[in-house]
């Protein structure tokens, strides 16, 4: 599911993605359900056309050489270099009130891609 909306903050966003406390709690819960000690959260952006970017939040058991490690809200996230420019300044939240609870990625940095600011949702199931 993809949702577009205007930015929530007018101030410039930091260059690294950040989890909200609610999203960090859900991520920790998802990792705990895996029952493995070496499982990681990965953020990815896949460009499918000029104005079509798909975002993914996945569980992964490996870290690549070009992955950037980001610590936010006590959670470690890995992002590959190619995806980083599309996720710079993003805020990741978890919306439990939606018909299907899902993660929401708000790209608050309006200059990241074509001057647009967008929010994207992805269901963790």
Average pLDDT on 10-24 reads 73
| 5, pLDDT greater than 60 | no
Confidence tier at 2 by pLDDT (50, 70, 90): very low
| Tokens describing residue 39 | 């499982």
CA distance 60 to 55: 15
**Span 2-122: which CATH code?**
2.60.300.12
Q: What are phi and psi of 114, to 5 degrees?
A: 55, 25
Strand 75-80 and strand 40-49: the pairing is parallel
Per-residue pLDDT of 87-107, as tens digits, reads: 888 899 999 887 888 888 887
> In three state form, how does the secondary structure of 43-97 look?
EEEEEEECCEEEEEEEEECCCCCCEEEEEECCEEEEEEHHHHHHHCCEEEEEECC
Per-residue pLDDT of 25-73, as tens digits, reads: 999 998 888 886 678 889 988 888 777 788 888 888 888 888 998 888 8
pLDDT in the model for residue 39? 82
pLDDT in the model for residue 98? 78
pLDDT in the model for residue 1? 35
Q: Token match 């647009």: residue?
A: 116
Q: In what order do the strands lie in the sheet with 75-80?
A: 52-60, 40-49, 75-80, 67-72
pLDDT in the model for residue 99? 85
Q: Where are the domains of the chain?
A: 2-122
| 12, pLDDT greater than 70 | no
pLDDT in the model for residue 109? 53
């Amino acid at each position: 599911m993809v949702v577009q909306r205007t930015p929530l903050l007018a101030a410039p966003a930091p260059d690294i993605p950040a989890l909200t406390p609610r999203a960090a709690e859900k991520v920790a819960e998802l990792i705990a359900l895996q029952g493995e000690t070496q499982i990681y959260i990965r953020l990815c952006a896949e460009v499918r056309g000029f104005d079509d970017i798909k975002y993914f939040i996945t569980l992964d058991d490996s870290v690549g050489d070009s992955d950037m490690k980001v610590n936010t809200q006590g959670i470690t996230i890995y992002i590959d270099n190619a995806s980083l420019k599309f996720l710079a300044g993003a805020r990741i939240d978890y919306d439990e009130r939606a018909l299907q609870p899902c993660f929401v990625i708000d790209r608050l940095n309006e200059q990241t891609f074509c001057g647009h600011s967008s929010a994207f949702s992805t269901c963790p199931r």
